[in-house]
Amino acid sequence: MDERAASTLPIFSPYHRFSRAQWAALRADTPLTLSIDDLTRLQSINEPITLEEVIAIYLPLSRLLALYVAATQGLFKATQRFLGAEDGKVPYIIGVAGSVAAGKSTLARVMQALLARWPNTPRVELVTTDGFLFPNAVLESEGLMAKKGFPESYDGAALLRFLSDVKAGRRAVAAPVYSHLTYDIVPGDTVVVDRPDILIVEGLNVLLPNRRAKDGRTSAFVSDFFDFSIYLDADDDDLERWYVARFMRLRETSFRDPRSYFKKYAEFSDDEAEATARKIWREINLANLHENVLPTRQRANLVLTKGASHRIEEVELRKL
């Protein structure tokens, strides 16, 4: 049975469910602060997004997050007063999860741009968990290259340390950088997060519970550090179609760069390239989706479900 069919929401659901039109009506007077040129810069390959999508989906979400962030900051200040503490600023952390090809990167970048344009112009930073993948040399030595993107391919301890330091209010916390061109960690390169107002953390498995350590103890979850989490959902067939289309487009662009890890695919025929893309999808990305990513959907505060045209057609917001 399909997991989505099996997880049909009961009458007493932990979520409020909205159609696209119902959600769009919640925008109220939230202003549109992005232009067509902004969206062109922010969208990823084969992840189209329109101003209409921003107005209908992202502006109501921006309004909701403004309320949540203000409430969390108010609670933090009240707690400080109660404790007589002066711990400084603690970032509000938003997690974004979902399948490969679902459009997480575009969602995260558009939300970053919108949140940074709030009237009080907060500092909003974005980190992807790709930077916490083990280097290819480690994955190869451990026989995990075919499992890249699965939970075991990440340095979970390093990611938890990073989030713990950020949430503790530490200054200048560094995260590794990943190159999609070389398909590997960039040696010596880092992105520094320095006490932003909001941090967006985007990745496949950010809502996944941690594995038990060898001594049997369970450490913290990555999601323990999130104040709000979003899961971007779509049908398996649509995800496969989008993934294959992106692969075919990359074959004509970045795969032709001599530095590209995937340069061998640039010379494939159309049929060979499509067959390769579908094989990668089935054996790696679809398997990871059903084993690890999709089961975390129910842990999100907000679920955005896409239709075949990349439009978000349904929104589910967890009840407080």
pLDDT digits (tens, 9 = 90+) for 277-314: 999 999 999 999 999 999 999 999 999 999 999 999 99
Selection from 59, 175, 176, 191 nearest residue 113 by Cα: 59
Torsion of CA 39, 104, 59, 70, to 10 degrees: -130
Q: Is 171 helix (H, G, I), strand (E, B) or coil?
A: coil
CA distance 22 to 13: 18
**pLDDT, mean of residues 69-80:** 90
Torsion of CA 293, 299, 301, 307, to 10 degrees: 40
CA distance 277 to 285: 10
**Complete DSSP assignment for 94-136:** EEEEE-TTS-HHHHHHHHHHHHHTSTT---EEEEEGGGGBPPH
Q: Which residues pair with 191 in a beta bridge?
A: 175
Q: Is 298 helix (H, G, I), strand (E, B) or coil?
A: helix
What is the pLDDT, as a whole number, of residue 12?
A: 76
pLDDT per position as a tens digit, 97-142: 999 999 999 999 999 999 999 988 899 999 999 999 999 999 999 9
Q: Is 160 helix (H, G, I), strand (E, B) or coil?
A: helix
Structure tokens, 115? 């949140």
Chain centroid offset of residue 249 CA: 22
207, containing H or E segment: none
The sign of the torsion formed by the CA atoms of 295, 298, 302, 304 equals positive
**CATH superfamily to which 13-318 belongs:** P-loop containing nucleotide triphosphate hydrolases (3.40.50.300)
Chain centroid offset of residue 99 CA: 9
pLDDT per position as a tens digit, 255-284: 899 999 999 999 999 999 999 999 999 999
Q: 190-194, 212-216, 304-308, 314-318: lowest mean pLDDT where? A: 212-216
